[in-house]
Amino acid sequence: MRMNRTFRFMPPKLNAALQAALNGADIDHAVDRWGYVYYHDRDTEAFEDILATVRSSVFESWQVLSCPADAVNAYRQVMRQRKVRFVVEVDNNRVEFLIPGDIDPHSWPLDALPAKSSAQAG
């Protein structure tokens, strides 16, 4: 069975922490030379559990902010302007942002943001 899921934290130290956690788990995975972790669909739940632990090492309460690919730079700019701490993740070739759980991105002025976004809490 082919590994068809990918994930990477852009900060190397955080990505290394994810890889170390996976090495101690019973999840079949591989890492390419750019640090992307590959795993099977069947392991998604277990992978997400490990991912939540690593995310919690960054923010006690967190959420993942998703946006359209053409809006990534705009969201990054708004977060920098608002001094929101964030970590860039790449989940199945989609750039997302790990942000603190107490931030409400839906309260940001709509004229400053692209039209579509979603946040997943953790």
Percent of the chain surpassing pLDDT 90: 72
What ranges do the domains of the chain cover? Answer: 5-56, 62-121
What pLDDT score was predicted for residue 55? 98
What pLDDT score was predicted for residue 108? 76
pTM reported for the whole predicted model: 0.87
What pLDDT score was predicted for residue 120? 56
Nearest residue to 65 (alpha-carbon basis) of 108, 110, 95: 95
Confidence of residue 74 (pLDDT cuts 50, 70, 90): confident
The arrangement of secondary structure in 62-121, i.e. its CATH architecture, is 2-Layer Sandwich (3.30)
Distances in Å between the Cα of 82 and the Cα atoms of 74, 100, 110 are: 12, 13, 14
Using the 8-state DSSP alphabet, how is residue 69 labeled?
Answer: G
How high does pLDDT run on average in the chain? Answer: 90
